[in-house]
Amino acid sequence: MKLYQSKIPSCTYGGQGSLNQVAGILSAEKAQRVIVFTDQGVRGAGLLDPLTDLLQNAGVPYTVFDQLKAEPSYQDVDALMQQVGQETGSLIIALGGGSVMDTAKLCAALQGAPYTTKDLLGSPGKAKKQMKSIMIPTTCGTGSEATCNAIVAVPEDGVKVGIVNDCLIPDYVILDPEMIRGLPAPIIAATGVDALAHAVECYTSLKANPLSDVYAMASAKLIFQNIRAAYSQPEHMEAKSNMLIGAFYGGAAITASGTTAVHALSYPLGGKYHIAHGVSNAILFAHVMAFNKDACEGRLAQICDSIRPDLCGQPEAERARFVIDEIADIVRFTNIPTNLAQYGVTAADLDFLTDAGSKVTRLLDNNCKKLSLDDIRAIYRKVL
């Protein structure tokens, strides 16, 4: 029997209006000052206003940093820390998508620390929690609010790197569907498929275990059954709420298991070509699972049994194929690109992609089927 563990945020609030729980957290933590991280898109959508109103009503001073970049590099995070400077605070609040939350999680470990983000690339164990954090996701997919991971680009190598340390697990999470009520359909699509990849990859990972399986299966069921409605029906708040919960479950699965080759091969696409993380995962997702099928057919069939119990009498291979076909259909339904042509990636890039993808061993080692360099090249070639 292998050993396994699961670590998730200490306290999670959910449901419409759960943003109001911030007031109680401020009181419980005796917060004297708050540092808020967000981005211009979130602020422009008016989502920051309810939070700052809560802070003002509680009489807690705060500073907002709203210039956070999408898909940040480690240099971006260290530059932000220069802006934050000696800003004092007893809590960090992140209001945004995965990039905002990953940046805020790192800043919670960097504020006043003797190391930089660059130092953590090679030695993530150095990180120590310096401040407590509250994560409030405004997308329904990254799961960053539940994980011990923070992803940053390393531009000089054309890749992205995951900094992994338990101290990055947030202290509080608020899953308020009002935060995604007006989320644009393309972002629902990309972040939702990203969350679905978390679920399916964790369930088929070599590190899958009884704890991760519970979260991964619950995540997969919620997302498979709700993503189309959340994407195509803007006022379908039940579907959006289920997507938010499913994304959180997917993040929780990551902490107990781990993603695999889909995410490994997507990292160079984001690192060098700046393709949005969810989009790069979506382009690769069905192709990687088709490659993996013979090594995880039973597990894929179990996912099928959960989302389509009426198919339980079908052969295992057909149920596994149904899940892969369903992934591909969701990508098509949500109008996510299915190849890399529009991003300027060509056959001339295959050598770089193959080499860079093969180096993401932290995730490739979790994959249920070993990938050779030829296998990696063949998968990339399929999506050109």
Judged against a pLDDT cut of 90, whether residue 87 lies above it is answered with: no
Strand order in the sheet with 11-14: 11-14, 172-175, 132-137, 91-96, 34-37, 62-65
Is the model's pLDDT at 110 over the cut of 90? yes
Residues 179-231 have pLDDT tens digits of 999 999 999 999 999 999 999 999 999 999 999 999 999 999 999 999 999 99
Evaluate whether residue 1 is within a structural domain: no
Residue 3 lies in a domain: no
CATH number for position 15: 3.40.50.1970
Looking at the structure, tell me whether residues 204 and 169 fall in a common domain: no
Residue 5 counted as domain residue: no
Q: What DSSP string runs through 139-197? A: SSS--GGG-SEEEEEEGGGTEEEEEE-GGGS-SEEEE-GGGGTT--HHHHHHHHHHHHH
Q: Indicate the pLDDT class of residue 358, thresholds 50, 70 and 90.
A: very high
- Note whether 237 and 278 are same-domain residues: yes
For residue 54, is it within any domain? yes
Look at residues 180, 206, 237 and tell me which one is the last residue of a structural domain: 180
Confidence of residue 90 (pLDDT cuts 50, 70, 90): confident
159-164/149-154 β-pairing: antiparallel
Same domain, 157 and 271: no
8-42 per-position pLDDT tens digit? 999 999 999 999 999 999 999 999 999 999 999 99
Asked, for residue 2, whether it belongs to a domain, the answer is no
Could you tell me which of 77, 98, 121 has the C-alpha nearest to residue 362?
121
Could you list the residue range(s) of the whole structural domain that residue 201 is in? Answer: 185-382
Strand partners, 14: 175
Is 192 found in the same domain as 173? no
In terms of domains, do 194 and 173 share one? no
- The whole-model pTM stands at 0.96
Same domain, 159 and 34: yes
pLDDT band at 1 (very low <50, low <70, confident <90, very high): low
Q: Which of these three, 128, 159, 180, is where a domain ends?
A: 180
Statement to judge: residues 301 and 377 lie in one domain: yes
Same structural domain, 252 and 303? yes
Give the residue carrying structure tokens 């802006």.
83
pLDDT tens digits, residue range 48-60? 999 999 999 999 9
Final residue of a structural domain among 180, 210, 228: 180
Three-state secondary-structure class, residue 84: helix
Question: 121 and 213: one domain?
Answer: no
In a domain, 6, yes or no: no
Instruction: Tell me: do 116 and 18 sit in the same domain.
Output: yes
Q: What percent of the chain has pLDDT over 70?
A: 100
Residue 86: pLDDT over 80: no
Contacts of 136 (CB under 8 A, 6+ apart): 19, 51, 93, 94, 95, 96, 145, 173, 174, 176, 179
The count of domains in the chain is: 2
Predicted local confidence at residue 370, as pLDDT = 98
Domain containing 227 — which CATH number? 1.20.1090.10
Same domain (yes/no): 102, 233: no
Q: Are residues 304 and 156 in the same domain?
A: no
Element housing 132 (H / E): strand 132-137
